[in-house]
Amino acid sequence: MSLSRRASILLKSAVLWAMMSVAVLCIVLAAIGFFAAACVISLAQHTGSAWAAAITGGALLVLALIIGLAGALMVRRNRRRLPSLLSEFGGTLALTSRLAMFMVRRDPKKAMIISLVAGALAEYIMSERKR
């Protein structure tokens, strides 16, 4: 599969996930709105309507603050765990070079044949052919 085809598939998948996430978010926000309305109606029976709206608004602000702080903490923790892309590439390159040196030391003829086949395979995979 060519690189552009893989990128196209990944992009379509990301767009699908994003659209689904937006739909779920809209439904959750509507549900929260109905819960807030139910809270206001229930509180309005015991207190005045102005106090019911104020209590519900305050509760929602406190909930938003808690969720915001928890999200910021999670983002900060996830940033620390990720290794840099350069170190990942360096590790992969070092492993590949060690495997290649091991193969050349063990049997140079097979290593030459495998490298020719790998080069041809890489050219076939990376080529942009019109279909």
| Tokens describing residue 9 | 């598939």
Distance CA(74)–CA(68), nearest Å, equals 10
Report how far apart, in Å, the C-alpha atoms of 90 and of each of 4, 15, 48, 102, 115 are. 25, 31, 66, 18, 21
Structural domain boundaries in the chain: 3-82, 87-126
Distance CA(8)–CA(109), nearest Å, equals 39
Q: Report which DSSP code applies to 128.
A: -
pLDDT tens for the chain, 131 residues: list them. 677 777 888 888 888 889 999 999 999 999 988 988 998 999 999 998 888 888 888 888 888 899 989 988 888 887 766 566 677 777 887 888 888 788 778 888 877 888 888 888 888 877 776 54
Give the per-residue pLDDT at 80.
66
Give the per-residue pLDDT at 20.
92
pTM summary value: 0.44
In the three-class reduction of DSSP (H, G, I as helix; E, B as strand; rest coil), residue 81 is classed as helix
Distance CA(55)–CA(46), nearest Å, equals 12
